Structure 1
Amino acid sequence: MDGAFDALIEEMTDAEKVSLVSGHRMWKTAAIERLGIPQIVMTDGTYGVRYSIPQIDQDEAGGQDFAAFLSVVDQKADDVQIAWGQVRPATCFPNGCSIACSWDTDLARGLGEALARECQEFGVHLLLGPGINIRRTPLGGRSYEYYSEDPILTGDFAAGVIGGLQENGVGASLKHFACNNSEVERTTMDSVVEERALREIYFGGFERAIAKSNPWTVMSSYNRLNGVQAAENPWLLDEVLRGEWGYDGVVVSDWHGIKDRPASLAAGNDLDMPESETRKADLQEAIKAGRIDRAVLDKACARMLGLIRRAKRGEARGRVFDRAEHHSLARRMAAESIVLLKNEGALLPISPAKVKRIAIVGEGARTPVIQGSGCATTPPTSVDVPLDEIRKLAGADIQIEIFRGTSGIAEDRETLIVEAETGAAGADVVIVFVNVESGYDGEGSDRRTLDLAHGHDELIERLAAANPNLVVVIASPDAVVMPWIDKVQAVVETFFSGQAMGGGLADILFGRVNPCGKLTTTFPKRMEDMPAYLTYPGENGRHLYSEGIHVGYRWYDARDIEPLFSFGFGLSFTEFAYSDLSLDRSEIRRGERVSASFTVTNTGAVEGKEICQLYARYGKPRLKRPIRELKGFCKVALRSGESRRVSIELTAQDLCAFDPARGDWTLDGDTIGIEVGSSSRDIRLVAPLRTISSISEHRPIEWDTQPVFVLRNPIARRKFVAFLQGQLGISAQEADTMLEHCANSFFGIFTTFDRRLRRSFPKADIERLLCEINGETDERDYQAA
């Protein structure tokens, strides 16, 4: 901070300071009336505002009074009511797994703006989202909240949501930092991740979103990271987040995510939520005993005061959001995000001129699956029933029949399937609604399988045999396997599309909206193909991220595994052609940018939108890298026959890899392919780009570096020749011959001198030599960059 709060903090007692950084009850910061410090309100919601009336309006604490608990201990209780009590209805927008399939950062900003309007009406100052953890495994319980398996798409989409919120006076909380990728033992599990994977994959979305949108708060995660609790990790919160990235906002804990409050404050976790008398007492005792630097506490207080001031300035009391308008927005978002995965024989869109009878099967037609479960769950203001919305667009000329098809009760399934088979046999089109197993689609538990719910796969198989004109509509938090894929003509993936899913889906089915959504994760053919399969979900409290940087599509490319559906894939009712790729430079160095321009043409008969994706394909990198990585994207709307010139810009930094040996990002000297395509497996154009840098050509020289690496480094070779001349009194040619004689040794360079030539050197002279070599290399690298 700028010192604006120094005088105010000076007036505060230790108890008041502890109160300020400890929250009040479940959803508020502590007010300090003596000093005129107000409280602010926060609540959950990555895709909707969940407002607990008793916990916010009536200031109830979380959980239950013990006596009240005992009075109902033998009664079956509603978990939601126990957790939050009565909750105000709010718009349930498409969940993260859905809306990110729009690849539309303007739509992301629109979501943030709409959420801000609802927060303003409810009096909420800080919305606890967006959640942007990488979808490392499709089994992850909170995958439905998160955007993608890729950090570029994740970071850019999150920045849009954050911008929409904060530009309208409501703060965001970017969460969960970091590596909260599974719900298995999530408050104790140790995510064991190599630094390069952390930097390039799991930190990438956070760093990008923070740089582009500067969220008011960042939320630390529940898990341990490489042995240290995330909320108490000074390397994570202080060195990386604040030191390297320059973040100056508030770090807030996940709810009860702190185990050692003094350690968390020292590490940079400012706000402990929710209020805990135990943790407050622990912090006060540590202050009294001198175990906490008062400057650290004061700094946290200053950040808290800055957040409160910003939040109060953003208030817009009296604002009321338009329920109908937000529902319409949710419907448009759903339609923009739904992914058409298969459409053989142009079965879709449904034409009233050709279709006279539709059979609709599945419980989801009447009771749609619109969202996941957990902290993000939002009681909707209204819900579009898919059956009703389909009937509206079908009109009076199309006969619609509905069949339940399946049941959670195994004994009922066969009868229901037979009824559906019989009813579907004579229909022009059959639409079946299926979903994943209920109860494993949210916070607190990961999914156990990539299969659909019990009976749903069999239902699809049987319907496909009865009528080939089958449209499968899937509601799932992430990827599912499809053993029946070759037997059906059309597949529509809605993910969890929010309260207007029914309307958005009907718009797609009848062609009122041309589908344009594309997958943000890879769909495997079988669970065994998943990158994390062998080490998920961990053992003995440790979860090894064994695939390293090869997450998602990177894994399938590196292992040459054909996915069911690739990252970035999605069909349209029209076709798009790509042509004329050009780069505005042929070489790029650190600090420079390159713009890739190409032409996209709608070659089909109807208007549509194409999501164009730009990838980098590496040539001969020094460090092992993915075959290709997403580096940029854009969404283009085109009329039939229309062409448009599109440009996507990327920086040299976007092409860097993190080198743990140097502790820094490095750019290879390489020739890479700038690829443009419709998905990660559908590359249409490529152009070469030379990356110019000496920074990553040679590894640092250490005492035990093998001679071959010394010989490959011109600076090291020259310095060693001079060193040997000075130490041994020999000529430059003799010194160089001495090095060549050692070239094939598998020992370190100085051990080799000792073993082969019986020569050793003073340790101080060796250290001086190594410093000179690495220092000159670094200096040359810096000048080149």
Structure 2
Amino acid sequence: MERNIQAIVSQMSLKEKVSMCTGLDFWHLRGIERLGIPSIRVGDGPHGLRKQIGEDGHMGLGPSEPATCFPAGATLASSWDKELMRDVGIALGKEAQAEGIAVLLGPGINIKRSPLCGRNFEYYSEDPYLSSELATAYIHGVQSEGVGTSIKHYLANNQEHRRMTTNAIIDERALREIYLASFENAVKHAKPWTVMASYNRVNFEFVSESHFFLGEVLRKEWGFGGIVMSDWGAIDERDAALAAGLDLEMPNSLGFGEKKLLDAIEHEKLPQTLLDQTVERLLRLIFHADSQKKEGATFNKRLHHELARKAATEGMVLLKNDDNILPLPKDKKIALIGAFAKHPRYQGGGSSHVNPFHLDNLYDEMACELGGEDRLIYADGYDLHVELPHTRLIEEAIEAAKKADYAVLMIGLPDRYESEGYDRTHLRIPADHQMLVEEIAKVQPNLVVVLSNGAPVEMPWLDKTKGLLEGYLGGQAVGSALRDVLFGYTNPSGKLAETFPEKLSDNPSYLHFPGDGNLVEYKEGIFVGYRYYDKKERPPLFPFGYGLSYTEFDYSDMTVSSNSIKDTDELTVRVVVKNTGDRAGKEIVQLYVSDLESTVRRPRKELKGFEKVELQPGEEQVVTFTLNKRAFTYYNTQIKDWHVETGEYEIMIGKSSAQIELKHKVAVQSTVRINQNVNRNTTIGELMADPLLAEPATKLIKEMNETPSFLDSMDENKEMATMMEALAENMPLRALVYFTKGSITEEELQYIIDELNKIQVYGLSAAEKR
């Protein structure tokens, strides 16, 4: 039923309007019965619904209703599978409908600036393009079921340490190209119902109180028309937040937020029209969500478990497979070692913690697969609750490995290592886990390590194992998913959505994370993740986009629709991918773009496209990408917009950021000229590099100069040319007065400057003007 929202607002008292801007309790938005405004409920759960039991919220960390626990964000992102992300979103939407949840608080797409961030298991990637594309698919899926999403945490919530008070100092290009870009396309193309503002400050102002981030960027530039809500307890000054564009304070603030709003309006610090606009947005959300309710909605738990299993297998990454040790043979004796095999680490801690309907474990799955203890030997290897090496448990693990033909070792990061609320301080796995690798490798050469973790770890023990499977946090079906991959029922196809550094100090944010006190400086700028490792020429342990398969893929016949385009054109790129192995498998084809000669600092390459294709043995497929202007741009802080420089670009097709298979150069012509502000300190080099100004600048200087100058030397004395060009490159125009011995006067210098600026405005040559 269509509601006249403005008419409803006109019937509300000031106190009622103000009350709408704060949550009813921990999970509900406020309704007003007399006006027919219902109360709707939101719920946690980027990777599974977390509907709290009871009404007080238990500070958001109490017991919750059972739900399907899908793999964590880090696992889902490693699938690089947009269709899968949409399917998971649809399933989450169905479960939210069944539980009466109107808005799901997710996805979480903050950039993985440092591998230490305690919440990285929940986030997608270090790359904003990959993150935004996956988030878009996820949001489309959830919202197709009539359930809203709350994309979070906008903006730069890249650490848990002092997350409520940190002040992130981020330069404009890094903000635009990395941190805002992770949200931008998802907001524009998926249109989430809500955006959740983060706790922290960015460049000295709380995001929740920022006119720039909420009003200018989110609403005006990106066209966001939904509501902005706070993260739970993120509001500093409620009136300032409303003025900036934050609609909803969550949770209920015990009347303090409402009092601040009332005082601000009554003292005319805030106009009532602004409050009315806010309430109108809130009512549009509430009525729309209420109209989408599906009474008696149900879902198939078994099918959702199978989807969780598929998602886990798609997100696991095969990092090492020497001698093709994987997949495992089923007719050999296998030692399964590690308490994670019976008590899996399958999700992270904090507000995303899900109470699963069911939980698979690898021990039960392998016992069923191998027919019992005759071919499966198990040992705990370590105590989940005590980190120090346990002599008896290690000795039992060694004996188990000795008796077997193969050993599968389950290690990684225990629950206490990763959670919302705190960051890690190192990248090491527990000492007892590392000792297990080293000791078992001494007695069992056929060793496969399976990692259970939400973020990168250091691996000084890597050469001790033949096989390495990054299992990440696989959700409730992790046991059966691992079995599928280890025994080859599913061919692993995941690729890393983040770089694994060899050691922590290699990470670009190392010297500036988590900052000093509340101040954290993002001094690495745009060089986050693989952008840094490429530029620094520092090979990581495993690069962004890396992952092996049980089959092989060959790339060939790369073509582009044109070798020369304008920045307003689209470019179509095609490549043939063939499965040259003997197993069916999936390959993630990655497209990167490189600006071969830029006047500004740029990464060596940036991800601008990816497709996941499934191929039978011997099958080949043409993979097509379409690139638009944004694929070639950088953010120009002078014009406050995305800009393409005229020049040559290289289109790269690769299996990872470090393994480029094919390249093709394309000339791109910019249709937007950025005028120089020519002044006394503009250098000769800047003028000579400008196609419009180089010739008239040379002519003007020669016309004004009556004595031989360095410009004449460059023409007439070839032996001096190199030196004179070097001197001129960085010489400011004001130096012309000195170097011409006054032949060019200060007045004539100003004339030259004025003429060059006019040329940029009117497009007239200096000679014509004179």
Cα distance in 1 for partners of 2:535, 2:492 equals 30
In the alignment, structure 1 residue 744 sits paired with structure 2 residue 734 = no
Q: Deviations over 1:316-359 (max 9, x none)?
A: 11111111111111011111111111111111111224x1x111
Per-residue CA shift, 1:222-278, capped at 9, x if unaligned? Answer: 111011111111111111111111111111111111101111111111111111111
- Structure 2 residue aligned with 1:317: 295
| 8 A Cα contact 1:754 1:760, kept in partner | no
Partner of residue 291, structure 1: 269
Answering whether residue 319 of structure 2 is matched by residue 341 of structure 1, we say yes
Which residue matches 1:368?
A: 344
Query: Residues of 2 paired with 1:417 and 1:176: CA distance?
Result: 42
Please give the alpha-carbon distance, in whole angstroms, between the structure 1 residues aligned to 2:119 and 2:562.
42
Amino acid at match of 1:358: I
Of 581, 595, 618 in structure 2, the residue corresponding to residue 641 of structure 1 is 618
Contact 1:393 1:510 in 2 (8 A): no
Instruction: Measure the CA separation in 2 of the matches of 1:477 and 1:421.
Output: 27
Matched, 1:113 2:97: no
Partner of 2:719: none
Q: How many Å separate the matches in 1 of 2:223 and 2:754?
A: 34
* 2:194 matches 1:217: yes
Amino acid aligned to 2:489: R
Q: TM-score, normalised by structure 1?
A: 0.90
Corresponding residue number in structure 2 for 1:402: 378
State the match for 1:123 in structure 2.
100
Q: Which amino acid aligns with 1:333?
A: A
CA contact (8 A) 1:22 1:280 kept: yes
Amino acid at match of 1:45: G
Q: Which secondary structure state, in structure 2, belongs to the residue aligned with residue 744 of structure 1? A: helix
> Are residues 250 and 740 of structure 1, via their aligned partners in 2, closer, same or farther at CA, if it must alter by over 3 Å?
farther
TM-score by length of 2: 0.92
Q: Supply the distance in 1 between the matched residues of 2:356 and 2:375 (Cα, whole angstroms).
A: 30
CA distance in 2, matches of 1:543, 1:138: 16
For residue 541 of structure 1, what is the aligned residue in structure 2? 518
* Structure 2 CA distance for aligned equivalents of residues 11 and 597 of structure 1: 59
Query: Does the CA contact (< 8 Å) of 1:618 and 1:627 recur in 2?
Result: yes
- Which of 390, 413, 438 aligns to 2:366? It is 390
Change (3 A) 1:434 1:594: same
Give the conservation status (yes or no) of the 8 Å contact 2:677–2:757: no
CA distance in 2, matches of 1:29, 1:338: 38
Q: Residue 502 of structure 1: which of 450, 475, 479 is its match?
A: 479
The alpha carbon displacement at 1:735 in A equals 12
Residues 205 and 96 (structure 1 numbering): CA distance in 2 closer, same or farther, change over 3 Å? same
| Structure-2 change in CA distance of 1:736 and 1:272 (3 Å) | farther
Q: Which runs of 5+ in 2 are unaligned?
A: 714-723, 765-770
1:314 offset after TM fit, Å? 1.3
Deviation at 1:293, TM superposition (A): 2.3
Q: Is the 8 A contact 1:475 1:493 kept in 2?
A: yes
| Cα distance, 1:762 vs structure 2 | 11
Coordinate RMSD, CA, aligned: 2.7
Residues 765 and 166 of structure 1: is their aligned pair in 2 closer, same or farther, counting only changes over 3 Å? farther
Asked if structure 2 preserves the Cα contact closer than 8 Å seen for 1:438 and 1:453, the reply is: no
Matches within 5 A, 1:575-586: 575-586=552-563
The match for 2:718 is none
Q: Which amino acid aligns with 1:383?
A: L
Count of aligned pairs: 747
Cα separation, 2, equivalents of 1:763 and 1:53: 77
Q: Using a 3 Å threshold, how does the CA distance of structure 1 residues 309 and 411 change in structure 2: closer, same or farther?
A: closer
What is the CA-CA distance between 1:644 and the residue it aligns to? 1.0
Quick one: distance in 2 between partners of 1:714 and 1:678? Answer: 38
Deviates more, 1:496-505 or 1:300-309: 300-309
- Match of 2:588, SS? strand
Give the conservation status (yes or no) of the 8 Å contact 2:345–2:415: no
User: d(CA) in 1 for partners of 2:706 and 2:748?
Assistant: 21
Whole-Å Cα distance in 2 between the matches of residues 61 and 511 of structure 1? 44
Residue equivalent to 1:40: 40
Paired residues of 1:701 and 1:774 also in contact (CA < 8 A): no
Q: 1:295 Cα shift?
A: 2.3
Point out the more displaced range, 761-770 or 450-459: 761-770
Q: 1:774 to 1:16 in 2, by over 3 A?
A: farther
Tell me the CA shift for residue 604 of structure 1.
0.6
Give 3-state SS (helix, strand or coil) of 2:626's partner.
strand
Alpha-carbon deviations, 1:498-548, whole Å to 9, x = none? 010111000001111111111100111111111111111111311111111
Structure 1 residues 763 and 663: alpha-carbon distance in aligned structure 2, compared to 1, 3 A threshold? farther
Distance in 1 between the 2:112 and 2:546 partners?
A: 17
Once the two structures are TM-superposed, the CA of residue 387 in structure 1 deviates from its matched residue by: 0.4
CA distance in 2, matches of 1:669, 1:585: 16
**What is residue 783 of structure 1 aligned with on the other side?**
none
Pick closer, same or farther for the CA change 1:279–1:735 going to 2, 3 Å: farther
Say whether the 8 Å CA contact 2:345–2:414 is kept in structure 1: no
Residue 397 of structure 1: CA displacement?
A: 9.2
1:152 aligns with 2:129: yes
Aligned: 1:15 with 2:15: yes
8 Å contact kept, 1:382–1:499: yes
Q: Residue 431 of structure 2 aligns to a residue in which SS? A: coil
Deviates more, 1:484-493 or 1:417-426: 417-426
Structure 2 partner of 1:303: 281
For residue 671 of structure 1, the aligned residue among 641, 648, 651 is 648
CA contact (8 A) 2:697 2:756 kept: no
* Greater alpha carbon shift after TM alignment, 28-37 vs 143-152: 28-37
- Pick which of 639-648 and 742-751 moved more: 742-751
Q: Which amino acid aligns with 2:450?
A: V
Change in 2 beyond 3 A, CA 1:266/1:388: same
Q: What's the CA shift string for 1:722-747, capped at 9, x where partnerless?
A: 9x79xxxx957869979989983967
2:40 corresponds to 1:25:
no
Q: Taking every aligned residue pair, what percent have the same amino acid on both sides? A: 38
Q: How does 1:61-76 map to 2 (within 5 A)?
A: 63=59
- 1:87 aligns to what SS in structure 2? coil
What is the rounded CA distance, in whole Å, between the counterparts of 1:588 and 1:555 in structure 2?
A: 29
- Taking a change above 3 Å as real, the CA distance of residues 764 and 238 of structure 1, as seen in their structure-2 partners, is farther
User: What amino acid maps onto 1:306 in structure 2?
Assistant: R
Q: 3-state DSSP class of the match of 1:616?
A: strand
Given that residues 568 and 671 in structure 2 are in contact (C-alpha distance below 8 angstroms), is that contact kept between their aligned partners in structure 1? no
**Given the alignment of the two structures, is residue 530 of structure 1 paired with residue 507 of structure 2, yes or no?**
yes
Alpha-carbon shift at residue 774 of structure 1 (Å)? 5.2
Q: Quote the Cα distance in structure 1 between the aligned partners of 2:157 and 2:613.
A: 34
Rounded Cα–Cα distance in structure 2 between residues aligned with 1:202 and 1:405:
41
The one-letter code matched in structure 2 to 1:664 is D
1:426: how far off?
2.6
Q: Is the 8 Å Cα contact of residues 348 and 415 (structure 2) preserved in structure 1?
A: no
